[in-house]
Amino acid sequence: MTVELKNSPQIPDCYYQNDPVLIRPDRPTPNHSLYLSNLDDQKFLRFTIKYLYLYEKAVCVENLKFSLSKILSDYYPLAGRLRTATSNEDEKLEIDCNGEGVVFAEAFLDYSALDFLEFCAKPNVSWRKLIYRVDAPTFLDVPPLVVQVTKLNCGGMIICTSFNHCICDGIGTSQFLNAWAQTTTNPNYVLQNAPFHSRHLLKPRSPPKVTFTHPGFTTSTHDLDQNDEFALIKYLQSQPLVATSITFNPSQILALKRNIIPSVKCTTFEALASHTWKSWVKSLNLSHLLKVKLIFSVNIRKRVKPELPQGYYGNGFVLGCAETTVKELSTKNVSHGVKLVQHAKSSLHDDNIKSMIDLLEGKKVKTDLSTTLVISQWSKLDLEHLDFGSGLPVHMGPLTSDVYCLFLPIVGDPESIRVSVSLPCSMAEKFEFYMTQNMDMGNDLGSNCYYG
- Segment 202-259, tens digit of pLDDT: 999 999 999 999 999 988 654 444 334 446 777 777 788 888 999 999 999 999 998 8
Query: Which pLDDT score is estimated for 280?
Result: 96
40, 165, 214, 402: the catalytic one is 165
Query: Which pLDDT score is estimated for 437?
Result: 81
Query: Which pLDDT score is estimated for 228?
Result: 44
Is 444 a known active-site residue? no
Same domain assignment for residues 436 and 401? yes
The CATH number that applies at residue 25 is 3.30.559.10
Is residue 144 assigned to a domain? yes
26, 74, 382, 387: the catalytic one is 387
Indicate the pairing of strand 405-409 with strand 417-424: antiparallel
pLDDT at 444 exceeding the cut of 60: no
CA separation (Å) from 159 to 116, 310, 349?
Answer: 13, 27, 38
Torsion-angle region of 402 (φ positive above 0: left; ψ -120 to 50: alpha; else: beta): beta
Report field, pTM of the whole predicted structure over 0.85: yes
Residue 87 class from Cβ within 10 Å (0-12 exposed, 13-18 middle, 19+ buried)?
A: exposed
Query: Which pLDDT score is estimated for 88?
Result: 58
Same domain assignment for residues 54 and 186? yes
Q: How confident is the model at residue 400 (pLDDT cuts 50, 70, 90)?
A: confident
Contact (CB, 8 A) for 316 and 169: yes
Cis omega before residue 207 (within 30°)?
yes
Same domain assignment for residues 188 and 239? no
Instruction: Read off the pLDDT of each residue in 146-150 and give the average, rounded to a whole number.
Output: 98
What is the C-alpha to C-alpha distance for residues 251 and 241, in angstroms, rounded to an integer? Answer: 30
What single-letter DSSP state applies at residue 80? S
Domain that holds residue 173: 21-193
Element (H, E) at 63: helix 61-72
pLDDT at 412 exceeding the cut of 70: yes
Same domain assignment for residues 340 and 256? yes
Domain stops at, among 135, 158, 193: 193
Contact (CB, 8 A) for 24 and 100: yes
Element (H, E) at 235: helix 232-237
Is 387 a known active-site residue? yes
Same domain assignment for residues 52 and 167? yes
Is residue 203 assigned to a domain? no
Query: Which pLDDT score is estimated for 87?
Result: 62
Distance of alpha carbon 386 from its chain centroid, rounded? 17
Average pLDDT over the chain, rounded to an integer:
89
Is residue 198 assigned to a domain? no
